[in-house]
Chains A and B, each alone.
Chain A
Amino acid sequence: MYKHRGLKAIAILTLLFIFVPLILIMITAFNEADIISLKFTGVSLKWFTKVFKSRSLTSALKMSFSLSLKATILGIFIGILASIALVKIPGKLSNALLSMFLSSSLIPGIVMGFVLFRFLVVKLAIPMNTSLMCGHLLIILPYSIRLISAGLKECDVSIEEAARTLGCKPFKAFVIVVLPDLKGAILSAFMMGFINSFNNIPVSMYLKGPGMNTLPYAMMNYIEYNYDPTASALSVMLMLVTVAFMVIIDLLTGKKSDGRK
Chain B
Amino acid sequence: MSFGELKGICVSYDNKNMILENLDLEIHKGELLSLLGPSGCGKTTTLRVIEGLMGTVGGTFILDGKDMTHVPVHDRGFGVVFQSYALFPHLSVRDNIAFGLKMRKEKNKELINEKVEKMAALTEITPYLDRFPKQLSGGQRQRVALARALVIEPKLLLLDEPLSNLDAQLRIQMRTTIKRIQQELGITTIFVTHDQEECFSVSDRVAIMDKGKIVQCDTPEAIYHKPANEMIARFVGFKNFYSADVYKDLGGTNGGSTLCCSRPSDFTINAANGIDGTIEVRTYLGSSYQYEVNTKHGFFTVVATEEKVYNIGDEIKLSISEDKTVIIGE
Contact = CB atoms under 8 A, between A and B. Distances in A.
Nearest to A159: B86
Contacts of B83: 158
B74 A169 contact: yes
B92 to A, nearest CB: 8
Contact of A165 (B78, B87, B89, B133): B78
A158 B90 contact: no
Contacts of A164: 53, 73-74
Say whether chain A's binding surface is mostly helix, strand, loop, or mixed.
helix
Interface in A128-182: 156, 158-159, 161-170, 173, 177, 180-181
Interface stretch (A43-51, A212-220, A252-260): A252-260
B104 interface: yes
Interface residues of A, number: 23
Contacts of B133: 259
B134 A168 contact: no
Contact of B103 (A159, A167, A181, A259): A167
Given A158-B82, A161-B53, A257-B90, A167 B132 contact: no
Interface in A228-261: 257-261
A89 B2 CA distance: 39
Contacts of A259: 89, 92, 131-135
On chain B, which size bracket covers the interface? Answer: 20 to 34
Nearest to B82: A158
B134 A165 contact: no
B148 A161 contact: no
Given A165-B51, A181-B90, A258 B82 contact: no
Contact of B99 (A166, A169, A170, A261): A166
Given A159-B86, A159-B88, A181-B90, A165 B99 contact: no
A43 B131 CA distance: 52
A139 to B, nearest CB: 31
Interface string B33-55: 00000000000000000011100
B76 A165 contact: yes
A243 to B, nearest CB: 27
Given A165-B73, A168-B74, A177 B88 contact: yes
Contacts of B86: 156, 158-159, 161-162
A138 to B, nearest CB: 32
Contacts of B104: 167
A166 B74 CA distance: 6
A166 B152 contact: yes
A164 B77 CA distance: 9
15 contacts: A159-B87, A159-B88, A159-B89, A162-B148, A163-B103, A165-B76, A165-B78, A166-B100, A167-B75, A167-B77, A167-B152, A180-B88, A258-B134, A259-B134, A259-B135
Interface of A: 156, 158-159, 161-170, 173, 177, 180-181, 183, 257-261
Interface of B: 51-53, 72-80, 82-84, 86-90, 92, 99-100, 103-104, 131-135, 148-149, 152
- Top 7 closest pairs, chain A to chain B, by CB: A259-B132, A167-B103, A166-B100, A158-B86, A162-B86, A180-B90, A165-B80
Given A165-B53, A259-B135, 8 more contacts: A159-B87, A162-B88, A166-B148, A167-B75, A168-B74, A169-B72, A258-B89, A259-B132
